[in-house]
Amino acid sequence: MLTNESIRAMDPTEKEALLERVLKSVTEIDRLIQQGSPSSPVVREAKSMAEDLLRQFQDKLKAKEQEAIAYKREITTLKQKIDEMGAIKLTVKKLEDEVAGLRQKNQQMVKERDEAVAEVNKIHELWRRFTSGE
């Protein structure tokens, strides 16, 4: 029995011989069909077999088309989710930057508060000295 692998493994001469045999067989089948009458059992069986094979092929083709449509929908959904995640990532980055800015402002305010407390303590100390006569 021939398989795709066995055909690929053939050298060009073997492939040519195989092709000639296939063409000869197809030509012979065509000749027999042309010679036979439409009521001939062989012709009817060949026609029925060809119709069955065609129907099976069409069914498989429809199934593959449906599968392709499902994959396209899934890909579209995944692309939308990727876009949404990209937007979320940007939002998170903006929030991280904002938090970093707020931390820096907080550190600056704490530093200013500490300086103000030190200044108030100096003023209290001076006032205490002034009122106590030192």
**Residue 115 and residue 62 in one domain:** yes
**Residue 64 and residue 89 in one domain:** yes
Domain count across the chain: 2
**Residue 29 and residue 51 in one domain:** no
**Residue 40 and residue 17 in one domain:** no
Mean pLDDT of 86-101: 96
pLDDT category at 36 given cuts 50, 70, 90 is low
**Residue 21 and residue 52 in one domain:** no
DSSP letter, residue 113: H
**Residue 77 and residue 106 in one domain:** yes
% of the chain at pLDDT higher than 70: 94
Residue 53: both structure tokens together: 């094979």
**Residue 72 and residue 10 in one domain:** no
**Residue 123 and residue 98 in one domain:** yes
CA 62 vs CA 28, 52, 68, 73: distances in Å: 32, 15, 10, 16
**Residue 16 and residue 68 in one domain:** no
Q: What is the pTM for the complete model shown?
A: 0.45
What residues make up the domain containing 42?
36-132
Length reported for the chain? 134
**Residue 31 and residue 42 in one domain:** no
pLDDT in tens, 41-83: 777 787 788 888 888 989 899 999 999 999 999 999 999 999 9
What is the greatest pairwise CA distance in the chain?
138
